Amino acid sequence: MGEVVPFKKPKLSEKHRGKTLCRSGFHQWQIIKERQVDVQQGKLLTVYRCQRCGKIKTMAC
């Protein structure tokens, strides 16, 4: 017979770790350097991605 492996449910605090700050507007923005130029308009852009939730925002320079 095989061994029985107990499955452990993640706690809610572990599941939503860091997301509550993002919901309140406190993102942890990091600059993405792969995409810097808007192809359609030819403008220089700065692309930011939140490290916690993955949300992306762009700002024109």
Going by C-beta distance under 8 Å and a sequence separation of 6 or more, which residues neighbour residue 5? none
List Cβ neighbours of 4 (8 Å cut-off, separation of 6 or more): none
CA angle in degrees (0–180, nearest 5) for 33-37-40: 145
Q: What is the pLDDT of residue 48?
A: 93
**Which H or E element spans position 21?**
helix 19-23
Residue 7 pLDDT > 90, yes or no?
no
C-alpha 49/C-alpha 27 separation (Å) is 9
pTM above 0.85, yes or no: no
- Concatenate the DSSP letters of all residues of 40-54 into one string: TT--BEEEEEETTT-
Q: In the structure, what pLDDT confidence band is assigned to residue 39 with cuts at 50, 70 and 90?
A: low
